[in-house]
Amino acid sequence: MISCEAPYSGTYDDMMPEQRTVAYWYPEPYWSEHEASAVKNLLPFFDEVAILLPDYMLGRHRDANPWLAGPLEDLGLLRILEPGVFVDQEMTTRLHAIMSGLVDSGAFNDLDVPSGPYGYHELSRTRLGWNADLALSTELIEMLQDRQLALPSADGVSVPLHPAVRTAVLVVLSQLAPAAGRLQGVDLLPVTGSRDRVRDLVNVLGLPSISTAGQVVAMDAEVVGLDLQSAPLDEVLDFREHHGDACRRYIRQVRQFVRTLSSIDSDDERTEAILDRQADLADLAADLRRTARTYWKRPVARVAVGGVGAVLSLASGSVLPAALGSLAALLEWDPRPDTAGPFSYLFEVHRFLGT
């Protein structure tokens, strides 16, 4: 987040040292055909794509998308994060605290209990921190089982979870991933291709117990370029080589836009900032559209890019409630103007012909 009154005319990211930006794709570690289309469109905007894939599922990502996942991995553009290693002690501790807080706050009280085991969806125990802290992971699983939100493991490597709880875990992991990524020297940025997952993020951050103190801002997605699913991968990589700087500049502006809104308490000031910043983003998006059309010389479906983030700012003289304070701290939110709060990119493919 950065204050609108900051004297620097660029963005906070412009002042950061050059670092590889990696799109952390969530919630699933492999992609449907529709999601694969969005993933392919990430390549001009990021240096790599990362997925959180348990070791016993290795290979499934290639089976699901042999035309994309395989080549990306072979080219070194797909980073496999193995949760048995990536989900470390700190991440496990924070995940346990957040999920325990959600359960205790009643976030899952109104869920319908599945009538049978097929109503639960498997999640690897390593994504719940099993390898990092067996005691904490076991405690979380047993707490969920006591509330009929989980079942005992049937295969020894995964846990059947209520679908809503499973989604919440994966959304929370997406917000914890950047801190873990920094330990590996990469800038992990949560990215999804589904508005449903964005709504999940909003729901996790905007529970009734904390909604009075925390708000969520969601930027409508700007149509920025062509859907590259039908383009050969070598053409996409060539486009990235020649125009990647402009694409990454746009991505930084989207991130900055949400940070700016997150730092403003006043509705009037936020509206004014939206008008100013969205006009800048629209201009950048138009430039990318022209560049993409010139390069491919054909009208195809377009890609829209947006962002969502949490407004967790401290109003003057107010006291941050304990529930929100705990969640914000565990997500590494800091009220200083140069830090990012919870955040996610949204990449959508618009299925219509354009010129």
Q: Where are the domains of the chain?
A: 12-46+186-350, 85-183
Looking from the CA of 107 toward its CB, the CA atoms found within 13 Å total 27
Beta-carbon contacts of residue 221 (< 8 Å; ≥ 6 apart): 304, 305, 306, 346, 348
33 burial type by CB count under 10 A (0-12 exposed, 13-18 middle, 19+ buried): exposed
Q: Give tens-digit pLDDT for 75-116.
A: 999 999 999 999 999 999 989 988 988 888 788 888 898 888
Tokens found for residue 334:
């800091």
CA quadruple 59, 248, 87, 136: dihedral, nearest 10: -130
Polymer length in residues for the chain: 355
Low-confidence ranges of the chain (pLDDT < 50): 1-17, 207-216, 311-340, 352-355
Pairing of strands 21-25, 187-192: parallel
Burial of 246 (0-12, 13-18, 19+ CB in 10 A): middle
Question: Please, are residues 347 and 193 in contact by the beta-carbon 8 Å criterion?
Answer: yes
Instruction: Please give the DSSP secondary-structure letter assigned to residue 5.
Output: T
Distance CA 295, CA 304 (A): 18
Q: What is the pTM of this model?
A: 0.82
Query: Is the Cα dihedral 22, 28, 31, 32 positive or negative?
Result: negative
Q: To 10 degrees, the CA torsion angle through 114, 115, 118, 122?
A: 30
CA–CA distance, 278 with 295 (Å, rounded to integer): 25
Distance of CA 130 to the CA centre of its chain: 23
Tell me the helices (H) and strands (E) count for the chain, helix number first: 12, 9
232 burial (CB, 10 Å; 0-12 / 13-18 / 19+) is: exposed
pLDDT at 226: 73
CB atoms within 10 A of CB 335: 14
pLDDT at 331: 47
List Cα–Cα distances, 237 to 47, 227, 281, 349, in angstroms.
11, 14, 24, 19
Q: In the prediction, which pLDDT does 30 show? A: 87
Three-state SS at 323: helix
Half-sphere exposure of 183 (CA within 13 A, CB side): 12
Structure tokens at 231: 């383009």
Q: What is the largest CA-CA distance in the chain?
A: 59
Measured CA to CA, the distance from residue 61 to residue 233 in angstroms comes to: 17
d(CA 189, CA 83): 17
